[in-house]
Amino acid sequence: MSSATHGYIFANWKMYLNQEESVALATSWRAAPRPDGYQLAVFPSALAFTSVAEALAGSSIRVGAQNVYWVDQGGYTGEVSAAMFAAAGAQYALIGHSERRHQFHETNHEVRQKLEAALASGLTPLLCVGETAAERSAGRTWEVIETQLRAAYHNLVWPAKTDLLIAYEPVWAISRGTERWGADCPPGEAEVIHTRISDWLQGIMSGVAPQVLFGGSVRAANLGRYLAEPHLAGVLVGAASTQPDRWSALLANITPRAL
Ligand code: PGA
């Protein structure tokens, strides 16, 4: 998908659900009405990935990996490779989520290796970028994002048929669960960053149509405001996607988009 009239509603289940809960939620999604014009995808835990992929097989909801390792196979205790996720039916992979960067100290160099491995395995990566509260207060937002973008995409030949997906996820906007929402990102501020990311990528890669999503405490109460932004291609939803009532309320707030 590359037209701006398409949209993405992606759900990052993080480590919120066990296998049984993941399958139950995926099964309920399969049966529920979905908004026209949006690609839905879910990113379950590595443990629940295969069962969720089976529960959604044959539906229009795609599955993705929350994280990948860049070596295909070998002695890497605790890791799951991009190639393994692809073989198990993943279509997407989150790369460089801020929780990976900040809690697991993932570097820009590792993010690059993961991005390349995802592409080599035929996955569509969704690169996550964003600044911390301290970086924002210091006026360093764009500097941080540009560094993350440059490390990921500099001199990378983008495969012609693969969507170029980026999620702007300001760290200060990300929730710690449905009881601890992050701050709302002022719409004007998000829009400036989305446009800048898109322009920057078009400046270093010719013929690409970057699709920029927003993530950070997106829920029914603020979804409409984010989706109203002309340069936003969709949202990456964490906590609000893990509870059936919140998810259906969120989907009910989506105005169908033309395909
Ligand atoms: P959140 O998570 O919606 O719970 O803030 C979004 C994300 O981190 O991808």
Measuring CA to CA, how many Å separate 81 from each of 90, 113, 119, 168? 11, 11, 12, 24
End-to-end CA distance of the chain: 9
- pLDDT on residue 258: 53
- pLDDT on residue 235: 96
Please give the distance, rounded to the nearest whole angstrom, from the Cα atom of residue 129 to the centre of ligand 1.
12
- pLDDT on residue 33: 84
Closest C-alpha residue for ligand 1 atom 2: 238
- pLDDT on residue 3: 44
pLDDT of residue 136 exceeding 90, the answer is yes
The rounded mean pLDDT for the chain is: 94
Averaged pLDDT, 179-205: 94
- Residue pair 226/235 in contact by the 8 Å Cβ criterion: yes
Pocket around ligand 1 at a 6 A CB cut-off? 12, 169, 174-175, 182, 215-218, 236-240
Please give the distance, rounded to the nearest whole angstrom, from the Cα atom of residue 186 to the centre of ligand 1.
16
Q: How confident is the model at residue 257 (pLDDT cuts 50, 70, 90)?
A: low
- pLDDT on residue 255: 77
pLDDT of residue 98 exceeding 50, the answer is yes
SS3 87: helix
Atom of ligand 1 nearest to the CA of 236: 9
The pTM for the full model equals 0.95
Write the pLDDT tens digit of every residue in 37-94. Answer: 899 999 999 999 999 999 999 999 999 999 999 999 999 999 999 999 999 999 999 9
- pLDDT on residue 47: 98
pLDDT of residue 209 exceeding 50, the answer is yes
Averaged pLDDT, 130-138: 98
Q: Which of the residues are catalytic?
A: 97, 169
Please give the distance, rounded to the nearest whole angstrom, from the Cα atom of residue 75 to the centre of ligand 1.
31
SS3 180: coil
Q: How many CA atoms lie within 13 A of 178 on its CB side?
A: 15
Atom of ligand 1 nearest to the CA of 219: 3
Q: How far apart are CA 12 and CA 100, in angstroms?
A: 13
**What percentage of the chain reaches a pLDDT higher than 70?**
96
SS3 195: helix
What are the extents of the domains in the chain?
7-252
Q: How far apart are CA 183 and CA 124, in angstroms?
A: 29
Q: How confident is the model at residue 36 (pLDDT cuts 50, 70, 90)?
A: confident
Averaged pLDDT, 228-240: 93
Architecture of domain 7-252: Alpha-Beta Barrel (3.20)
Q: How confident is the model at residue 24 (pLDDT cuts 50, 70, 90)?
A: very high
